[in-house]
Every structure is written in C-alpha cells, then in structure tokens.
Amino acid sequence: MARGDDDNLMSKLRQLSEDGLTSVFNEIMTNDRMRSSFGRAGERFMANKQTFDRNVEQVLDFVNIPSKRDVRDLKTRLDHLSSQILNLSIKLDRLLDAEGPRTEPKPIARRAGQPKKSSRT
C-alpha cells in the first residue's frame, strides 16, 4: 500500500468512528433510562477514582515515596523560601549601597632581604 492509501484508509476509519460515536451519544441522550444509567456510572467511576487515589497515596506514604501532592507542597514551600531569600538579598544590597564603598586593607609591603616574621617566637 502506498502512503496516500494509508492516509485515506485512516481518515475513513476516523470518520466512521466519529460518526459511530455521534450516533451512540445521540441515542444515549434521547433515552432517559440510558442517560440516567450513564450518569450513575460516571458518579461511581469518580467515587472509585477518589478511593483509588487515596489508597495509592497511603501505599506511597507507607513505603516513604512522595506523592504528587507531597512534591507539589514541597515546591510551593521552596518557591516561598526562594522569594524570601531574594527579598533579603535585595535588602542587603540596599544596606551595603547606603554605607558607601568599602575599602579593603592593603597588605604591608616587605623590603627586599627582610626575613619573614616567624610565628614561633
């Protein structure tokens, strides 16, 4: 099969699946009994998902592996600390600028031939 034939076949399959989904969805929406059944199924799915998520978090906590929530909370705390450090750095820079330029003490120059002072005197 040529590349064009593959693309054509895929587009036909996609169109059939879209048409099929549309017809099933329309049938569900017109039938009150099916609509309520799908609604209950969705509610049960969400309840089961919440229970599953809670159980997975408990298992991860038991084996000391951080969950997504733990990582998200830690990132929030780190972002807060980073902003505090940045604010402190800005304040320190302002204080140092207000003091004026600092001069470093100059090292004392030795004369040629003068021995180094020994610390064992």
Residue pair 61/67 in contact (Cβ under 8 Å)? The answer is: yes
Q: What is the pLDDT of residues 25-76, one digit of tens each?
A: 788 788 888 888 888 998 999 999 999 999 998 998 899 998 888 899 999 9
Instruction: Write out pLDDT tens, residues 89-103.
Output: 999 999 999 887 666
Sign, Cα dihedral of 7, 8, 11, 13: negative
| Res. 121: pLDDT tops 60 | no
Residue 58: which of 47, 48, 69, 44 has the closest Cα? Answer: 69
Residue count of the chain: 121
Non-local (6+) Cβ contacts of 38 within 8 A are: 28
- Above pLDDT 90, what percent of the chain? 32
